[in-house]
Amino acid sequence: MHTPVSPLELTGGSVAIGGRPILRGIDLTVETGDFVALMGANGSGKTTLVRALTGLLPLSAGELRLFGTPIREYAAWSRIGFVPQRSTASSGVPTSVWEVVASGRLTHRKLLRPLSKRDRAAIDHALDVVRMSDRRHDGVTELSGGQQQRVLIARALAGEPDLLVLDEPTAGVDLPSQQALADALGRLKADGATVVLVAHELGPLAPLVDRAVLMRDGRIAYDGPPLADHEVLDQHTHHHPTSTPHDHTPHFDIPLDRR
Ligand SMILES: Nc1ncnc2c1ncn2[C@@H]1O[C@H](COP(=O)(O)OP(=O)(O)OP(=O)(O)O)[C@@H](O)[C@H]1O
């Protein structure tokens, strides 16, 4: 439960894709129990950073340690739960909510063994945390986008990770579902979970976030307590925060207090 080492420790981390530098010299340490939001404009490098942090993208420079172990020696992948961006819970094959969540236990199971009592308990608990227990027999395609996102979080939770990384869990999700997601993440936080999530806007997640890491052009521009809208604007830019995505104007539309 009490991990003496940092779940994530990236020093001087750089990533280049197709020879183009995308992340430059990132220093980021996440401690046990942190609830971190990676924020920033479109294209600032948030998704690339979470992919690098979870070992999905190689570093071109720098060092990454996961739970104290250098990435090249790291093997305990079941300690990390990853919910990728805008993933769909199903690809046309009718799959039940329970099956999707149960697939999150795969890293814990011996091949071809039936689910153990412990597996079933972890699956039930994960469904309960996201409040989807009563939908366990439904097909995932019958669910709203927000409910599907909760199922994907439950799938990651079923693996009982020590670190949960989520890429834009609230993107494209209606406000009541965002609130339901925030409630689920709030229950995890209350249990001492370590969470790193990408968020364009915090919305209902704002009260949970202890630390905001603001990305700008592949670098960390700010790392500290979440700032209110006007403070962010005062500190970083005088541009009105309505610039279009993928332009090169720095914009910090982080409506922490909106809604
Ligand atoms: N596979 C790739 N090939 C080429 N360029 C890429 C690739 N992945 C990301 N990039 C580029 O890297 C930069 C950072 O992208 P990234 O997706 O990390 O940003 P982001 O902050 O997550 O943006 P968004 O909010 O739009 O998801 C962008 O300029 C993007 O075009």
Q: Catalogue all structural domains in the chain, each as residue range(s) with its CATH number.
A: 8-236 (3.40.50.300)
Residues 6+ apart with CB under 8 A from 173: 145, 146, 149, 181
CA distances from 111 to 77, 78, 106, 108 (A): 17, 15, 9, 9
Distance (Å) from CA 140 to ligand 1 centroid = 28
**pLDDT for 56:** 85
CB 83 within 8 Å of CB 139: no
Residue nearest to atom 5 of ligand 1 (CA): 17
Identify the CA nearest to 103 among candidates 81, 123, 133. 123
**pLDDT for 195:** 96
Distance (Å) from CA 1 to ligand 1 centroid = 35
Distance (Å) from CA 44 to ligand 1 centroid = 7
Which residues of the chain fall below pLDDT 50?
3, 233, 237-259
This prediction has a pTM of 0.82
Q: Which of 17, 20, 48 gets mutated to test ligand 1 (max ligand atoms within 8 A of its CB)?
A: 48
Residue nearest to atom 18 of ligand 1 (CA): 45
> What are the pLDDT digits (tens) for 62-80?
999 999 999 999 988 889 9
Distance (Å) from CA 7 to ligand 1 centroid = 24
**pLDDT for 85:** 75
- Cα separation, 51 vs 145, in Å, equals 22
SS3 state of residue 184: helix
> What are the pLDDT digits (tens) for 17-36?
998 999 999 999 999 999 99
**pLDDT for 208:** 95
Q: What is the bridge-based pairing of β-strands 35-40 and 61-66?
A: unpaired
